[in-house]
Structure 1
């Protein structure tokens, strides 16, 4: 079943109503392939591909532990029936993995920190499949499993991020089987989790401004699954109801961030986990959240997974590679290996629900973007959101997430600090993209071509203004624009580059989103002493389109790019902007050629400029002369009247950014 809207060009060529048998068949295909790459003792699974940054041994552990997650879902959902061979395979792998003398034993937790991540999957599934795997292990192996997991107790080296749940899950399992555990460790980790909770059910992945798919597939998923582990209710202290309330509120936004073609936002790190983004929708069904119908949760999960299968991920060999639709190694973190993409199986969590669970019988319900234009904000992340039914695309304007600590002057991570992300485009993510903000940026560019960065920006405003068809989502930020000379880094975990910083000035940006358009208002508030405005240009970058071939056009104050039926446009509507297109090669996971429409302005401190940025399908793109905007200064605020390309006029009063932000130099 699809939900194509009659008479539209929405990107919805995806079957989004699989039966449970079809889900099972897909899971079995992945599992059968994984087993074919197992080591002789089944303790490791080595998928084909270049060795990861953490080495061959870690790669093998990842391959086992992450596919063990899927095996656990499969066995639990079948209540063990018909899965005996699968359980035997992974049970043998556990015996080998914890045998200290086995050639294909698991990397221990005290040998490499990555084992702490994989240990959580092992513990979670051992609990979930207790009657079929754990209870059938011999006493020696059970003790070896306990010994293998025991180093988590009292370990204070876990990052203060979603990793907290790895320690909680493992210690909860250890407690349930008579192993060592620490009540203080669990209490400390739950307190840390609560300190990361933000507005409207959103959770930051650590104390940096990190809002990405980890919010759903980790920070909301683990609390629900943990609460169902044996003995967890004795540890939860009545917190589960609150966790579910936050999950429910988060899911109201999460279902609206899925494109009509099933694509999640291409934003944040670990995008090679692909359809793991479906996990929170299944968790909502497990937790029985009250506000999002079961049929919509299943539809959202199904749409995400089907999006990737429709784009040949996995391919004919049924192996998940490091990439998005196809293999593109630069999308992965530097430490990722061939087994890393198999955290995608979190998106198949639904098969742990038995055939008689009501989620399978619920009538499928359309996503918000399929039923009408959707305008909203995500306050915690500083996102203005616009989803449009005509083209099925969801876009965000980002003014609060940069994966950086408050006040830290670092490079802009292309995965976090760009102004715009969508379900139809990707940020440029090659090595050069970490050093050069281009697409979806506002940058001061000097005579040498160096572009400034904006992390860590300060959020100024995030809200919805207006009523009905005149609703506008607004987000704004102010930043200390700075150039950065990068220092070498061994590993990249999603944060921007560090290096020597040279301050340029203070820049304020307001994004007004409505339909497929953003009006981006920009002002250079001030320049640093000795920085010459005449030697700079202010460059505003639009959406990057990437494919096998992209057509770029520029004329006077407008530029555009067209590829695979998509259109990216940019148009100067206030200020002396000159349009052009920038071409990059092998810079995007979506194709070998990328084009970014840009407009470049002279730098005039304290003067507003305005740029129209558009993303839609080619047949719905606006004529370049179809819009106008006026900006009027008042004593304390700026009043902005916009005539949008469809003729609708809106007037908004913008927030005052206040004094220039302090920065850690």
Structure 2
């Protein structure tokens, strides 16, 4: 009896303590939630500082002719770094360019952000000249291996996204050299999947600068990607469907940019472009719903080491101001900010010199695919495209808004999902 009383008393004390502890934790959690609320301009400052940190090692080293010298080449366990040396530097450059292009296209101003943009843009223009100069220590490889087809495509996408900032200021010799490197890609072919789109946009870029494009590569890309559409905003990556983020990494954004050139050059009906854009908008709705209330998202499929590139399609739809009426720009801003804070504040994704490391949340080299090396990781910049919207755009100025999953898990009204037939 005495034992029972003592045990019961201890249990009562434990229950009280646990209740107090849980209440305290809950109170602290609620307090911390209030402290992390930010304005859109604070979000923008965070985004711009993070993108500057991510892109700086690539861009400044390239400008100084030191990219090959200073960029580490981290590869999956068991792989030999030497086998990646021919391609990883162009990967880093092309992918970084595609991510920063809309931001660097904004006009100069005297703000801290404006100075960062100008610094990066000035260095990148110098770096592009080095990348195609055969006498530069950072002359990049467009001429051998299949992989350069991919990363030239991201460079092409950057030029298409920011022609006045990144293409027109180049001197005539550099422009000629860039065109010749792109033409040299025609000696090789790649995989029978999204790689067709890489070849297509490389030719579309050449067309956009007045060069003769290869019509076969353009037509194959158009027809095969269309054949691989599965419905409700999803394409398969080749004949067989894979559930991963390649609709965001590549297919939707690059297809829409590819089609835009073809429409401008009267090589495609505007109705086909409009349909591709509608499909990307639909896919972007899924992307927004993938983001959990705490900013996490599912780590599934190939290439998850590309991190925030998983939201390129959503980011591009926001940049184009084509979000559906029921998805507010501010909720996309808040959702993507939550992802960035969760991924880059709570995971150490950079080494001591500021280079990205293999992994998803921190250093996790064992999850890297066999084709992945340090340069591949700069796909992560593609999630930052809305920085191309000026600071006075409603994406940045509207009050913070909960995103779909946050509404759903907090008993708030949210839009019932649906399907589309186009």
| TM interval, short-chain normalised | 0.7 to 0.9
What is the aligned partner in structure 1 of residue 298 from structure 2? 265
* 221, 236, 252: which one aligns with 1:220: 252
* 327, 339, 360: which one aligns with 2:363: 327
How many residues are matched? 368
**1:355 equivalent in alignment to 2:355:** no
Say whether the 8 Å CA contact 1:39–1:45 is kept in structure 2.
Answer: no
- Write the distance in 2 (CA, Å) between the matches of 1:171 and 1:366: 41
1:38 Cα deviation after fit: 4.1
1:207-356 matches, within 5 Å, as 207-227=239-259, 232=264, 234-238=266-270, 239-287=272-320, 288-291=322-325, 292-315=327-350, 317=352, 318-356=354-392
1:507-586 matches, within 5 Å, as none
CA gap 1:171/1:19 in 2 versus in 1, 3 angstroms = same
- Write the distance in 1 (CA, Å) between the matches of 2:328 and 2:292: 18
Say whether the 8 Å CA contact 2:253–2:312 is kept in structure 1.
Answer: yes
Say whether the 8 Å CA contact 2:99–2:379 is kept in structure 1.
Answer: no
What is the aligned partner in structure 1 of residue 104 from structure 2? 75
1:411-490 matches, within 5 Å, as none
What is the aligned partner in structure 2 of residue 161 from structure 1? 193
1:315 Cα deviation after fit: 4.0
* 49, 54, 60: which one aligns with 1:30: 54
CA gap 1:85/1:231 in 2 versus in 1, 3 angstroms = farther
1:98 Cα deviation after fit: 1.4
* 99, 107, 112: which one aligns with 2:133: 99
TM-score, normalisation: structure 2 = 0.77
Stretch deviating more after TM superposition (252-261 or 141-150): 252-261
Aligned Cα RMSD in Å?
3.1
| 1:203-222 deviation per Cα after TM superposition (whole angstroms, max 9, x unaligned) | 11111221211112321222
CA gap 1:50/1:371 in 2 versus in 1, 3 angstroms = closer
CA gap 1:255/1:233 in 2 versus in 1, 3 angstroms = farther
Say whether the 8 Å CA contact 1:264–1:277 is kept in structure 2.
Answer: no
1:37 Cα deviation after fit: 4.5
CA gap 1:184/1:274 in 2 versus in 1, 3 angstroms = same
- Write the distance in 1 (CA, Å) between the matches of 2:404 and 2:122: 43
CA gap 1:37/1:84 in 2 versus in 1, 3 angstroms = closer
Give unmatched runs, 5+ long, in structure 1.
Answer: 1-5, 374-388, 391-470, 472-665
Stretch deviating more after TM superposition (161-170 or 308-317): 308-317
- Write the distance in 2 (CA, Å) between the matches of 1:230 and 1:354: 27
Say whether the 8 Å CA contact 1:46–1:59 is kept in structure 2.
Answer: no
1:6-21 matches, within 5 Å, as 18-21=42-45
* 90, 107, 113: which one aligns with 1:61: 90
What is the aligned partner in structure 2 of residue 131 from structure 1? 164
1:282 Cα deviation after fit: 1.4
Which one has the bigger strand percentage?
1
1:19 Cα deviation after fit: 2.6
- Write the distance in 2 (CA, Å) between the matches of 1:247 and 1:53: 38
The structure with higher relative contact order (CA 8 Å, sep 6+) is 2
Say whether the 8 Å CA contact 1:69–1:121 is kept in structure 2.
Answer: yes
- Write the distance in 1 (CA, Å) between the matches of 2:90 and 2:344: 25
